[in-house]
Amino acid sequence: MNSRNSSLLLESMLSLLNAKGITKSFGDILVLKDLDFQLSKGEFVAITGASGSGKSTLLHILGGLDTPDSGIIKFENKAYPKKSRDIELFRNNHLGFVFQFHHLLPEFSALENICMPGYIGKKDNIEDYAKELAHEFGISHRLNHLPSELSGGEQQRVAMARALVQRPKLLLADEPSGNLDSKRSKELFNLLDQVRESKNVGIVVVTHDKSWASNADRTLNIKDGKWEV
Ligand SMILES: Nc1ncnc2c1ncn2[C@@H]1O[C@H](COP(=O)(O)OP(=O)(O)O)[C@@H](O)[C@H]1O
Ligand SMILES: [Mg+2]
């Protein structure tokens, strides 16, 4: 094999997510303009940009929660499934999401919330791994509490454990520290970084926090629907 072929092979082995030519409009507003995005396995990328610049739209598209008008997304070199049932299954099995507002179910305990994707995916023995994650995130003693009884930082850790309980290879987070003070925000960053390390999860995070942006492997800034160079 020549060196060009071997470097292409290496690149494809390392590739987790590869999006090309992503374009998206809402009515007359062209939000994303022919964007490319690559993420390697276990890589931590931060996306920054002004409010309304298209960050959430891009994250939703990368996570299969929304479809682009044109462009293609490959996960481990395979195109995302097209049928909605298939993409739901794919999301449940391979992707984890964390949002600014944790969206925990108020009437379920922290443990039940963490296990929920596993219950939906009909996985057995999900509790053991849920408890392992809770231990790693320092919330073992809070597992029997309802979300309303937890602090903001604890709620976000529960949400993160829930996002990871299906052992995804990709974690997508939209301003996960948006409601936390700077100390809690730093703690959450360190936890994410630790997760990337211990579980080889690729992470894409939209953030306004400058320290997150400067500590990620790469930071990309989006402006008017394009990467700022
Ligand atoms: N579902 C939608 N319908 C119509 N317009 C939308 C929708 N989602 C986002 N937009 C518009 O797309 C642009 C980018 O939004 P968004 O991706 O949420 O930006 P950001 O997350 O960077 O603040 C904004 O002008 C917003 O109003
Ligand atoms: Mg947003």
Is the predicted pLDDT of residue 124 greater than 80, yes or no? no
- Sign of the dihedral through C-alpha 157, 163, 166, 171: negative
59 and 220 in contact (C-beta within 8 Å)?
no
Q: Give pairs for 190-196: CB < 8 Å, separation 24+.
A: 191/137, 191/157, 191/160, 192/44, 192/160, 193/44, 194/136, 195/136, 195/160, 195/164, 195/171, 196/42, 196/43, 196/44
| Domain 3-227 part of CATH 3.40.50.300 | yes
Write down the mean pLDDT value for the chain.
92
Segment 172-198 shows an average pLDDT of 90
Give 65 or 123, the one with higher predicted confidence.
65
Instruction: Name the residue of 26, 222, 223 whose CB sits within 8 Å of the most ligand 1 atoms, as the mutation to test its pocket.
Output: 26
The ligand placed nearest to the CA atom of residue 173 is 2
Residue extents of the structural domains in the chain: 3-227
What atom of ligand 1 comes closest to residue 206's alpha carbon? 21
Ligand nearest, relative to CA of residue 174 = 2
pLDDT at 103: 86
Residues with CB under 6 A from ligand 1: 26, 29, 31, 49, 51-57
Residue 210 has pLDDT above 80, yes or no: yes
- Distance from the CA of 32 to the center of ligand 1, in angstroms? 10
**Does the pLDDT value for residue 96 go beyond 90?**
yes
Please name the residue whose Cα sits nearest to atom 10 of ligand 1.
26
CA-closest residue to ligand 1 atom 6: 26
Residue 66: pLDDT over 90: yes
| Ligand 2 centroid, distance to 100 Cα (angstroms) | 9
Segment 130-138 mean pLDDT: 95
Determine the Cα–Cα distance for residues 61 and 73; give it in Å rounded to an integer: 9
57 CB-contact burial (10 Å; exposed 0-12 / middle 13-18 / buried 19+): buried
- Ligand 1 centroid vs 161 CA: distance in angstroms? 28
pTM of this prediction?
0.92
At 70 the pLDDT is 96
The pLDDT of residue 136 is 93
pLDDT given at position 59:
96
Summarize the confidence of residues 56-74 as an average pLDDT: 95
CA of 170 relative to ligand 2 center, distance in Å: 19
Calculate how far, in angstroms, residue 53's C-alpha sits from the geometric centre of ligand 1. Answer: 8
Query: What ligand 1 atom has the least distance to the C-alpha of 59?
Result: 17
CA atoms within 13 A on the CB side of 110: 29
Q: Evaluate if residue 121 carries a pLDDT over 80.
A: no
18-44: pLDDT as tens digits: 999 999 999 999 999 999 999 999 999
> Hey, whose CA ends up nearest to atom 9 of ligand 1?
57
Q: What is the pLDDT of residue 120?
A: 78
pLDDT band at residue 4 under the 50/70/90 scheme = confident
